[in-house]
Amino acid sequence: MQKPMHQNVSRSAYGIATLVLLAVLFLAVNLFSNIVFRSAQVDLTQARLFTLSKGTENVLAKIDEPITLKFFYSESLATDFPQVRAYANRVRDLLEEIRDRSHGKIILEVIDPEPFSEQEDLAMSLGLKGARTTEGEVIYFGLVGTNMVDGIEAVPYFTDERQQYLEYDVTRLIQNLSRPKKPVLGIVTNIPMDTGAGGLVAAMRGQSQPFAIYQELQNRFEINFIEQKFVKVPENVDVLMIAHPKQLDQQTLYAIDQFVMRGGRVLAFVDPHSEVSLTAGPNGQPVQGYTEASDLPTLLKSWGVEYDPRRVIGDRDLAMRVQTNLDARRQTSDYVLWLGVPKTNFDHNDIVTATIDQINMGTVGFLKQEPGATTKFTPLFWSSKDAETYDIDYVKAGHTPDELLSGFKPTGERYVIAARVSGPLKSAFTAAPPPSAEDETKRSDAMEKPLDYMGQTKADANIIVVADSDLLDDRFWVQSSGYGNDRTLEPVADNAKFILSAIDNLMGSDDLISLRARERADRPFVVVDNLRREAERKFLAEQETLKAKITETEQHLAALQTNGAAEAQSGQAADPHEQEEVAKFRTELLQSRKALRDVQRNLRRDIDRLATEIRFVNVALMPILVAIIALVIAILRHRRRKARAIKGA
């Protein structure tokens, strides 16, 4: 019996209406999810790469006024650079996550600075650095942040080397902008950083030449020089830099101790033999009142650091080349007391030393963890194992580089040159020390009084100690031309980069300091690499055997051919047995070479097959599974319809 036409028309219309309703529902669900679940995410990466750290969330919660972040990314020009595109997507995801978690305090602008556009001019005016392509185009990939009081901070270019520190760099930029003014760096030192080797006399004559590192510090921080005798660290000081001071009295040591107890951060440089202090001034003598050696025994012991001011490291592997002119053939020699510490000797898990390539220094001391210390002692950089230590009197005897090398006896131990000390601290004092008789005589009611005693830190301390002061000296890390304000400085080592990075890190809040390096987003395929290595092991052993056989066969063949040539020259008839041997070795050589090619082809074939299987799983397997599921559903629906039709008939 044939069905009426109107029933067929109704079924077709029903199907079309269903498809239209499904399309509308799909769009509605997408719009709803984009609005309601905008900030929802599921981070399934092993290292939680796309989840903000608690420290970043705390920094965002403390923002008082809006901060604008301008993300400059030449998206149209980066099409042919997949690594840049992948990293840019990660940066954008992080910035969007920060914006969403800031409750409106972060304003994000994404700008594509096309060539010869106003946006490109803006990027250049804000100090961003572009990467030039082989075609001559410039790709911008940086970040500029501004606050409500004309403060500006920038990441000139997101380099791949700092990919693990992306969250730290962005969070530090935000925290710097959330501060109303420059952070204050207090400096306690007996090194003439602000006047140079000439000291105050040269400064009064207008001939001072400040250290290059001092100029770098001035550009970034508000500097507060503190006299080397005080009863309290000024309250506005965020970080205290103690750079090779003279011997400090108990009142001053107590002031530093209580600064740390109250959460103050310290960057300390001590030195068993400071060559920068001994640098001759205009009159040919060191600055009056110079300090040859420095130590902070009371404080270092309480911080859990062991330091011997009478021992200096000598390192044959890290020795710098110095000019000696001892003979015409050899103008330079290795000087084991001056060290050029390479990137392999740095802790690349600590943000301060993560991107340091080399630090140059002279007559270096070393640090150890004090036995029984409760603090965490983390080495930042260290000597090689080809090192030994010298007594300071032996060093001051003035031995030549060759004399030091001739008697060199390495201990096989690595010596820590700089370390981070963190964790809870107890005071080095049991009570405030009584003032000296001199202080009592000078004291008046208007004078500052020592802080009330605090026996331990409320939160974890954060201190960086370096057993050298010569890394501050220009001659170890910078080449200079010109004079005074017209000087041109060209860094040859990362001394300034290390010092600025250490202070920047200590300037941060506990939330910022808590951030550590993360894994790179482009993680290797561990399973694939293991399979590749297994395939290589399988065939490389056979390949080496064949190569050895080929070499042996070629040697036999060469010997036989040499004998045959000699016999031919002497007029002797060719030996049929030798000819047979030559033919045999040639055949064997051809077979071995063919077998070697087969082995190499099999190795490549297995690796290519593995790559093909992975591509198939990534590209084709999922669509095939979806198609199979859809086909099964279609067959089941067809059977149900057929069953209903039979039942209706």
- First and final C-alpha spacing in the chain: 8
Q: What is the pLDDT of residues 332-348, one digit of tens each?
A: 788 999 999 999 999 98
What backbone torsions phi and psi does residue 392 show, to the nearest 5 degrees?
-60, -30
* Beta strands per DSSP E along 328-375: 332-342, 358-362, 367-369
Total Cβ atoms within 10 A of residue 620 = 10
Alpha carbon distance 174, 152 (integer Å)? 10
- Rounded to whole angstroms, the maximal C-alpha distance in the chain is 124
Alpha carbon distance 432, 263 (integer Å)? 18
**Which position has the token pair 């400040």?**
210
Which of 351-355, 439-443, 508-512 has the weakest average pLDDT?
439-443
Name the more confident of 290 and 586: 290
Looking only at the bridges linking them, the beta strands covering 376-382 and 387-391 are unpaired
Which of 206-220, 387-401, 517-531 has the weakest average pLDDT?
517-531
Q: What is the pLDDT of residues 542-568, one digit of tens each?
A: 666 666 766 776 776 677 667 665 555
- List the CATH code of the domain at 54-174: 3.40.30
Position 28 scores a pLDDT of 78
DSSP letter (8 states) at residue 346: B
Alpha carbon distance 266, 420 (integer Å)? 10
Adjacent-strand bridge partners of 378? 420
**What is the chain's mean pLDDT, rounded?**
80
Alpha carbon distance 293, 196 (integer Å)? 19
Which of 21-30, 359-368, 452-461, 478-487 has the weakest average pLDDT?
478-487
pLDDT band at 510 (very low <50, low <70, confident <90, very high): low
Q: Residues 343-360: what's their mean pLDDT?
A: 90
Q: At what angle do helices 82-101 and 54-61 cross, to 10 degrees?
A: 50
Q: pTM above the 0.85 mark?
A: no
Q: What is the pLDDT of residues 177-186, one digit of tens each?
A: 887 778 899 9
Q: What is the pLDDT of residues 563-611, one digit of tens each?
A: 665 555 555 545 566 666 667 766 766 776 676 666 656 655 665 676 6
Q: What is the pLDDT of residues 246-274, one digit of tens each?
A: 999 999 999 999 999 999 999 999 999 99
The rounded percent of the chain whose pLDDT value lies above 70 is 72
Looking only at the bridges linking them, the beta strands covering 222-225 and 184-189 are parallel
DSSP letter (8 states) at residue 366: -
Q: At what angle do helices 166-177 and 54-61 cross, to 10 degrees?
A: 20
Q: Do 175 and 105 contact (CB within 8 A), yes or no?
A: no
Position 161 scores a pLDDT of 73
pLDDT band at 445 (very low <50, low <70, confident <90, very high): very low
Position 446 scores a pLDDT of 44
Helix (H) or strand (E) holding 540: helix 526-569
